Structure 1
Amino acid sequence: MTPDIPRFHLAVPVTDLEAARTFYGAVIGCPEGRSSDRWIDWNLYGHQFVTHLVDRTGAIEAHNPVDGHDVPVPHFGVLLTVDAFHQLADRLRGAGTEFVIEPYLRFAGKPGEQWTMFFRDPSGNALEVKAFADDAQVFAT
């Protein structure tokens, strides 16, 4: 990890730690770090991501319309290269993951053109994965 590149730390609640281990480790391919019987640290593309075991989640079922789709809110995710995006989409499909929004090209031909997909982990946490052909477009207006 390069010290001058900021990394985020994110923690999410999960109701089944072994299901989280299978999903984030085997399906998404995140290397596992430290763990206990109540939490697991993951390397989510260079970011520290932690799944914490809880008795139940207080998931909010809200959506926001974006480009003709109902985007789940809240959600979290990562920005990948276009190749890594499609490789992960193939892994998710191969594992039988149900997509909230299937992988597609959003804002085609407009500022911020991006590949995007939404799916949920076994505890219902919504994830978005994006890929920009041109990283200079990440904050395009």
Structure 2
Amino acid sequence: MPNVSPFHIAIPVYNLDECRAFYRDILNCEEGRSSDHWVDFNLFGHQLVIHYKPKSETEDLHHNPVDGHDVPVPHYGVVLPWDTFRPFAEELKSKGVEFIIEPYLRFEGQVGEQATMFFLDPAGNALEFKAFKDVGQLFAK
């Protein structure tokens, strides 16, 4: 697999202070630059920016079936090292994070086998964190 550079993602939040605390205190993201309308975070070496956007009453999550679960769309997240996934999941559980899809092994024994979990931030943005024993399976068909 080629060397991967950090990505940048910006997500809308209607509750900047609550989301700031969630990413800092629950996900343990180091805070970077900020203003009264946005905050930069280090999300496992990637740049995540939460931007204030007024709440819309019409934005509902859509779901697609994957491996017997309803996967929320849209979602974002990080592919973690295999040895990081389980301790991170346990830490989230200990902090009271409610999962949309509890941590489990997806596609077990198949191409693309991966550990995965889904949960929401306080603004309702869906997050997925996953890990592969063999990261070479990331794009396997």
Given the two structures, how large is their TM-score scaled by the length of structure 2? Answer: 0.93
Structure 2 unmatched runs, 5+: none
Aligned ranges 1:26-65 → 2 under 5 Å: 26-57=25-56, 59-65=59-65
Give the deviation of 1:108 after TM superposition.
0.5
Q: Distance in 1 between matches of 2:43 and 2:78?
A: 8
Identity of aligned residues (%): 56
The one-letter amino acid of 2:87's match is Q
Aligned ranges 1:47-126 → 2 under 5 Å: 47-57=46-56, 59-126=59-126
Q: Distance in 2 between matches of 1:19 and 1:47?
A: 21
Q: Distance in 1 between matches of 2:91 and 2:10?
A: 23
Q: Distance in 2 between matches of 1:66 and 1:98?
A: 20
Q: Distance in 2 between matches of 1:59 and 1:32?
A: 27
2:86 alignment partner, SS class: helix
Structure 1 unmatched runs, 5+: none
Q: Distance in 1 between matches of 2:85 and 2:127?
A: 13
The answer for the alignment partner of 1:14 in structure 2 is: 13
Given the two structures, how large is their TM-score scaled by the length of structure 1? Answer: 0.93
How many pairs does the alignment contain?
138
